[in-house]
Amino acid sequence: MCPLWKPMPDLEFRSADARFGVHIPGATVRRLLHLCRSSWRKETGGILVGVYSAALDCARVSAASGSPVDSVRGPSWFQRGTRGLQRWLDRRWASRGAHYLGEWHFHPYAAPVPSDTDLQQLEIIASTADYRCPEPILLIVGGDPSGKWLVSAHVVPKSRDAVPLQRLKEPVEPEPR
């Protein structure tokens, strides 16, 4: 089986105090890596949508948008556009009840560490009533999306510092018999 088509495990992240969590299905991880590979050596990104767990302590990502056509980007910067996003969001809301959870972007061949600009943008989102998202998620894919890549996750609560989330241990794959 081609390594790029190997089943992708789900990703789980939690804050140290277990107050915040993020679950990303393997299919969404695969889509993110595809979008990153397609961007070559330029940053790209989009939005995350999904639902929250019944206890409201874990965001369950159900989809990640691609980069809107009016986005602008370079090798070490990205400004997400908005063209077509509302329609994309409306379709996911109507079909799955999914709503805006936060942002994602790609740091090509670099560590998935949020910049001050990344965190400031999420602080603005957290405090802007129109987003209806007081605790947005920031997901960053870094490295080589065709080879060795990493993902970081943060939650940026309104009027608080960003909370880094730790990736939980990957499930152990059974050995072939």
The model carries a pTM of: 0.89
Average the pLDDT over 9-23 and give the result. 96
pLDDT tens-place string over residues 114-123: 999 999 999 9
Residue 33 burial (CB count, 10 A): 19
- CA-based nearest residue to 62, from 12, 99, 116, 35: 99
Summarised one tens digit per residue, pLDDT across range 154-171 is 999 988 899 999 999 754
User: Tens digits of per-residue pLDDT, 88-107?
Assistant: 999 999 988 899 999 999 99
Q: Is the pLDDT of residue 21 over 60?
A: yes
Angstrom distance (rounded) from CA 65 to CA 165: 22
Tokens for 36? 């990153």
Local confidence band at 175 (pLDDT 50, 70, 90 cut-offs): very low
Instruction: Give the pLDDT confidence score for residue 34 in this predicted structure.
Output: 95
Give the rounded distance of the alpha carbon of 71 from its chain centre. Answer: 17
Domain at 6-166: CATH architecture:
3-Layer(aba) Sandwich (3.40)
Q: Which residues pair with 11 in a beta bridge?
A: 24
Give catalytic residues, as residue numbers: 43
Query: What distance in Å separates the CA atoms of residue 77 and residue 37, rounded to the nearest whole number?
Result: 16
